Amino acid sequence: MLSLRKTWMVAGSGLIICGVIGMLQPSVLGLTGSAVITVIGDVIYAASVLLFAIGFSREASIVERRPLGVTAMAIVGLWPLAGFILTRLLALVEPSGGSAWTVYGYLSLLIPAAAGLLAAVQIARADAVPSPWRLAPLWVLGAYAVTWAISQIIFVTVRSESIQAFADMFFMLGALTSLAGTLGLGILALVLDARKTPRSVDVYTSR
């Protein structure tokens, strides 16, 4: 029980920090500061997701340390950092764009989506997280899917010269779904951790 509570507290706090970092804008920090903060956030996110996957003990792992679940969560956690590094490398190799960017574009959609769905299913099938909260990652994925579908529908149905009018809406939807996957899940982990805190026991002395 102690290792489980410690896992949720540390990893949940990490996700909350990632959510706060995600709200910092380049306009506030500058491009250089934003890049540094992004890397720090990606490292904290990777460490938090990996901690949720592995736990301080087997019982503390939200996927019960099943190889498939741990692998999927490792990909989910490490992909933002890997994507940051890959885009910088591609910018050096093909600064004007090219086939490598096209391949990366498809991979950046397929890999996180597939790994996220697999990880969410593994969490839902495990018994570590109480019901119905074990479905929370699936809810977040659903929010991402709805956001993506809305943006695609607008791109297809709206004239190109009118797309700019929807920029603020795209930004707001993207920010909300991103916060749901970091700040939202982090707060949920801390709430569930607090619910597992043993209640004090009244001790009655004899008179």
Greater model confidence, 178 or 30:
178
pLDDT-derived band of residue 2, with 50, 70 and 90 as boundaries?
confident
DSSP the chain: -HHHHHHHHHHHHHHHHHHHHHT--HHHHHHHHHHHHHHHHHHHHHHHHHHHHH-SSGGG-TTTT-HHHHHHHHHHHHHHHHHHHHHHHHHHH-TT--HHHHHHHHHHHHHHHHHHHHHHHHHHHSSSSPTTGGGHHHHHHHHHHHHHHHHHHHHHHS-GGGGGGGHHHHHHHHHHHHHIIIIIHHHHHHHHHHHTSPPP---PPP-
Q: Is the pLDDT of residue 12 over 90?
A: yes
Average pLDDT, stretch 174-183?
88
Domain boundaries, the chain: 2-195
> What's the pLDDT at 28?
54
Q: Are 84 and 40 in contact (CB under 8 A)?
A: no
Q: Which of 61-75, 89-103, 124-138 has the lowest mean pLDDT?
A: 89-103
Q: Is the pLDDT of residue 205 over 50?
A: no
